[in-house]
Amino acid sequence: MALSIKQFINVAGIVKDLKSFNFSVYGRWFGYINIILCIALGISNLFHVNAVIAFGIISIIQGLIILFIEIPFLLKICPLSDNFVEFIKRFETNGYRCVFYLVMAIIQYCSIILMATSLIVVAICLTVSCASYGIAAFKKQEFQNTNIIKNPTDTDFPHEAVVREML
């Protein structure tokens, strides 16, 4: 019996999140996408012979900051300074996250002044996250935990015997 990553993904939880119409969940999902885009497109823009390299570096840093904002569990397991942890904990409401993503998007839109690159995609996705958190703040919606990974107590979660067989 082969073990695949699909056995660990909670498809029903993802569908439930998408049908919830809670915009903070949508903002969080776009935040996850922003992590990947910021880091990947930031790295790809390091190869320009232009001042856009600075915006590529900023994009990588933004991706890492968003990683800690959207996945707060990492704050507990990574050795970080107390100042950084306090900075990240400021963004625990929809309104503050909206402002955070707006500032990050404006920074990336400024890269267009130098040269039109793939960082436009980063700016647009940061704007979508800003809009999602802004709508959630306007509607006074609370954070909702996303259910991407199955709970180990679920009946269809792969158990030890399956993992041992895979190894």
Give pLDDT tens digits for 115-130: 888 899 999 999 999 9
β-bridge partners, 9: 149
CA distances for 148 relative to 18, 44, 63, 156, 164, angstroms: 11, 28, 20, 14, 24
Place 101 in a pLDDT band, splitting at 50, 70 and 90: very high
pLDDT given at position 49? 82
pLDDT at residue 12 greater than cutoff 80: no
Mean pLDDT of the chain: 82
The whole-angstrom separation of Cα 93 and Cα 68 is 15
CB-CB contact of 136 with 23 (8 Å): yes
Give pLDDT tens digits for 106-164: 999 999 998 888 899 999 999 999 999 999 999 888 766 565 555 555 565 555 545 55
Q: DSSP characters for 59-106?
A: HHHHHHHHHHHH-THHHHHS---HHHHHHHHTT-SHHHHHHHHHHHHH
Over residues 24-47, the mean pLDDT reads: 91
Position with higher pLDDT, 29 vs 123: 123
CB-CB contact of 115 with 54 (8 Å): no
pTM listed for this prediction: 0.80
pLDDT at residue 1 greater than cutoff 60: no
Position with higher pLDDT, 72 vs 10: 72
pLDDT given at position 21? 79
